[in-house]
Structure 1
Amino acid sequence: MATDDEGANEQIDILLVEPNPGDSRLFEEQCKDAKLLNTIHTVTDGEAALEFLHQRGEYADGSQPDIVLLEPQLPGKSGIEILSELKDDPALNEIPVIVLTSSDAGEKVVQSHGLEADTYLQKPVEPEDFVEFAQSIEEFWFAIVQKPSQSATRD
């Protein structure tokens, strides 16, 4: 079967690194409700995130995510340590990272360590704001994917 618009049907593999099960559940539910075609893999701490990204242990048969949503405040290895390791690893440094913050101060904390994520998004406080949040992530992804070919496809 031919597809009319390949970009609209492209599935995004998301690694959500979030210690709060309530926030993880809300994000997953809102992606489904918004009919976003994303696969969401959730881990709750920094060590599991690294295992997933390096495809080790229980994640050995998994695939690399297209994008990482990273909460900086994690048990064990912090989000800042994870971001640092991602940016220093040639096999992983091309994966876009969105740091999830609770305020503008969260972005400054990450940057104060000499690190830079691809973007920062403030986590929603109200459950109804998670739909817009999930759509922002998808829009960010499509903006990255379309950057290289955008000028070639423009009329």
Structure 2
Amino acid sequence: MHILLIEDNEGDILLIREVLSDRPFIKKISVATNGQEGIDFVTKKGAFKEEVSPDLILLDINLPLKNGHEVLKTLKNNNKTRHIPIIVLTTSSSPDDIKKSYQSFANLYITKPVDMESFDDAVSAIEGFWSEMVKLPSASA
């Protein structure tokens, strides 16, 4: 599985990479550090035109250039990218952010756990769900 992490916080990027790198179902982790870069990566624009499409996107809400809500709307309103599952992984537990994310067709909304053990548990739950239970279309579909 190829995961695209759209996250601007370097500490969170390191933590998420560390936790995900030990997972056998994850073959590649790509990172975009702002919302526009995330959109460009998924839609294969500019420097990203040769990138392999991600199988799953982990998306923060609070991003520079385009926030997570804008990224979600853009990708879910595009026929070529709407099939890619997007998990909102953010510090915000605001009911408005949660509602807005699901209204824009987020597949899952998770508030970032504050400690490493809780974060590892959350990733294990995501891994079990997305790698063992969910059937996704192939990249060529």
Instruction: Provide structure 1 residue ranges, at least 5 long, that are not aligned to the other structure.
Output: 1-11, 147-155
Could you tell me which residue of structure 1 aligns to residue 114 of structure 2?
125
Counterpart of 2:135 (choices 121, 142, 145) is 145
Decide which moves more: 71-80 or 124-133. Answer: 124-133
* Aligned partner (choices 86, 102, 108) of residue 75 of structure 2: 86
Measure how far apart 1:110 and its partner are: 4.5
- 2:124 is the counterpart of 1:135: yes
What SS does the corresponding residue of 2:53 show, helix, strand or coil? coil
Q: Helix, strand or coil for the counterpart of 1:111?
A: helix
How far apart are 1:109 and its partner, in Å? 1.8
If you compute each CA radius of gyration, which structure gives the higher value, 1 or 2?
A: 1
- In structure 2, the residue matched to 1:111 is 99
Match status 1:68 vs 2:54:
no
Alignment length, in residue pairs? 134
Q: Tell me the residue number matched to 1:98.
A: 87
User: What is the alpha-carbon root mean square deviation over aligned residues?
Assistant: 1.9
TM superposition score normalised by structure 2: 0.84
Measure the CA separation in 2 of the matches of 1:88 and 1:37. Answer: 26
CA shift in 2, pair 1:35/1:91, >3 Å: closer
Structure 1 length-normalised TM: 0.77
The CA distance in 1 between the partners of 2:36 and 2:113, in whole Å, is 25
Give the unaligned 5+ runs of structure 2.
Answer: 137-141
